[in-house]
Amino acid sequence: MARHTVTLIPGDGVGPEICEASVRVLEATGVEFDWDVQQAGENVMEQYGTPLPSHVLDSIRKNRVALKGPITTPVGTGFRSVNVALRQELELYACVRPVKAYRGARNLRDDLDLVIVRENSEDIYAGIEFEKGTPDCRRLLEEISALSRKRIRPDSGLSIKPISVSGSERIVQYAFDYARHYGRKKVTLVHKANIMKHTDGLFLAVGREVAARNPDVEFEDRIVDNMCMQLVQKPELYDMLVLPNLYGDIVSDLCAGMIGGLGLAPGGNIGTEAAMFEATHGSA
């Protein structure tokens, strides 16, 4: 039997304990692993001056698959999310979050079985931000106010929400390919195109074009706030959801709550050259 070399990032907080248990489970399958252990997060800041040293990325690029424990992300201040940086640096554009009810868990209902596909590289999580009061932020506020003819309060911070044709096409096609491969019958695209017509509207328009090229899988769309209500009231109507980055983050956690919590909601981050699998909860 072939051995598999996998980058193992224990993380911090409860991360090492979770990774140790995960390794035991994986090795109990009889598959042979060589674990390439790499450290990332706030516990390496003092040594390397960054929470994500370059050799960690090099290891994942070499091995092409990683298992990662939770890594602390400071709230409001401090370094940016290591999780987001890993996805961006390695082009892990698809976040796959299965939602399945297991016997004995605190399920909202026992027949829950759907898959969430979240776009991982764009949207408000792209990390294009401008701090309140800085010269760059003030200049952008003035320019955007002039271009849009809408006044933005001068004491504002800014975050930019880019959504591209290529990024949208890639993630929606991934959802259709996944559905076809795993026998899923329907893809539901989730958006807020009624309000954000040039970003979410673009995501929806591209999604409809992709759906037209995949007629063997049923397609529909839902506005994100309505989607949240539908998932609580009638989750049996949904099979696969595909969402932009922010909505995918929120809705996948909502669905985790329906099957007993984040501890029962794994995540896979998939790219063309590498994949990273992780616990989806925090490090506390």
Q: Which residues are catalytic?
A: 125, 192, 225, 249
Helix/strand/coil (H/E/C) assignment for every residue in 149-200: CCCCCCCCCEECCCCCHHHHHHHHHHHHHHHHHHCCCEEEEEECCCCCCCCH
CB 73 within 8 Å of CB 87: no
Instruction: Determine which helix (DSSP H) or strand (DSSP E) holds 86, and give its type and residue range.
Output: helix 82-89
Question: ∠210-213-219 over CA atoms, to 5°?
Answer: 65
The C-alpha atoms of residue 121 and residue 162 are separated, in whole angstroms, by 10
CB 56 within 8 Å of CB 44: no
Collapsing DSSP to helix, strand or coil, 2 comes out as: coil
| Residue count of the chain | 284
Closest CA to 190 of 159, 236, 222: 222
CB 178 within 8 Å of CB 96: yes
| b/e sequence 17-36, b meaning 16+ C-beta within 10 Å | ebbeebbeeeeeeeeeeebb
